[in-house]
Amino acid sequence: MKQVEILVVGGGPAGLCAAINAAQAGAKVLVLERNEDLGGQLIKQTHMFFGSEKQHASVRGIDIASILFNKIYELGNIEIYKNATVLAIYDDGIVSAEINGRYMKIKPERIIVSTGASEKTLAFPNNDLPGIYGAGAVQTLMNVHGVKPGDNVLMVGAGNIGLIVSYQLMQAGVNVKAILDAAPEIGGYLVHASKVRRMGVPIYTGYTVKEAYGKDYLEKATIVKLNDKWEPIEGTEKDFDVDVLCISVGLSPLGELLWQAGCEMRYVGQLGGFVPVRTENLETTVEGIFVAGDVCGVEEATSAMVEGYLAGLTAADSLGYEIKDFEERKQDYLEQLQSLRSGHVGDKIRAGLDQVTIKSEAAVV
């Protein structure tokens, strides 16, 4: 059995930042990452990030990943296992994992769960045809493996991911025929929308996919306009000859380990699904289990990184490590999160967080 002080489950933006802060405080950290690469979605993000300098604004996601990797390698006390899937968190605090085909048991003193989120899908006839992908798969093919996913794409979803992946597809020389979204308005940042729009890609708000067609693979898709009750309006169909349908209709937190560990979970639509009840320190209702990133509410990667830093700091503090300026640093992270969420685009997030955040006694006073 492997003994560690802090186990971080998931090496995406939140997990890496958590590991960095916990290790800087002096804790021995183990990061388990399911994939063969660290960095989560960051390594697929070729666009510049928003936010402020503290969150590396105007640096490309893939370069932010390098910044974090470098910090990790500078710190000596972070051990990383890739191709490592955590299987269970047991009542006695033992964690089991499968690492490169081997079964392993770990006894951590604290756990930070930063497993991220998975893509939601959309139900329509023939949605299992080859050529119908999630946006994450398209980004992985294109930006990790250098494989062109197809020639003509219809993008479903005008949130930030749908808009950004459309732009990346065009940069890769792929024809994006249109972007559609069932919502009446564009969900992503309008600057992203304007970027793809001035490349000549139409955006159809208030439309959904009616049906996909094809013999061995996707050849055509039909979309249809929705009325204000979200019902299809007959006669408004549009056909697109496409070999790729890219589905980007939101994410759902990957909270299975938290469920299993007995953390109190609540369904919060604004945060993408079931998320853990947590304190301001990002500790769940099970003592010693912390959370950060999309698993505790789907947001932008900038917020995930700040949450990671916060959880790493508070988890190390809870182990008794003497952290210089602990209160100030904690307040700084809380203020960064508050400012990232304070605008109109953060309305939903704030409303969601209100339902699952246990206010600390200090905050009540």
Residues binding another protein (CB under 8 A): 47-53, 57-58, 60, 170-171, 184-186, 189-201, 203, 205-206, 302, 339-346
CB of 337 to another protein, least distance (A): 10
Please provide residue 163's backbone torsions phi and psi, each rounded to the nearest 5 degrees. Answer: -70, -45
The Cβ of residue 48 has, within 10 Å, a number of other Cβ atoms equal to 13
Task: Give 53 or 92: the residue with its C-beta nearer to another protein.
Answer: 53
Distance, CA of 292 to CA of 17 (rounded, Å): 9
Specify the residue, 46 or 222, whose C-beta has the smaller distance to another protein. 46
Residue 361, Cβ density class (10 Å: 0-12 exposed, 13-18 middle, ≥19 buried): exposed
- Shortest separation between residue 36's beta carbon and another protein, angstroms: 26
- CB atoms under 10 Å from CB of 205, counted, come to 17
The Cα–Cα gap between 71 and 250 comes to 31
| Shortest distance, position 187 Cβ to another protein, whole Å | 10
- Kindly tell me which of 70 and 194 has the beta carbon lying closer to another protein: 194
* For another protein, the closer CB: 86 or 178: 178
Nearest to another protein of 100, 171 (CB atom): 171
CA neighbor of 38 nearest in space, from 60, 17, 65: 65
Question: Which residue is listed with tokens 């993000």?
Answer: 45
Please provide the size of the chain in residues.
Answer: 365
**Token representation of residue 106:** 């770990």
Q: Select 48 or 351, whichever has its Cβ closest to another protein.
A: 48
Query: What gap in Å lies between CA 45 and CA 171, rounded to an integer?
Result: 13
Cβ 186 to another protein, closest distance in Å? 6
CA distance 40 to 15: 9
Q: Which is nearer to another protein, 185 or 231 (CB)?
A: 185
Minimal distance in Å, beta carbon 15 to another protein? 22
- If you search the block for the tokens 């905050």, which residue do you land on? 363
Tell the smallest beta-carbon distance from residue 89 to another protein (Å). Answer: 33
In the 8-state DSSP scheme, what is residue 349? H
Q: How far apart are CB 35 and another protein at their closest, in Å?
A: 25
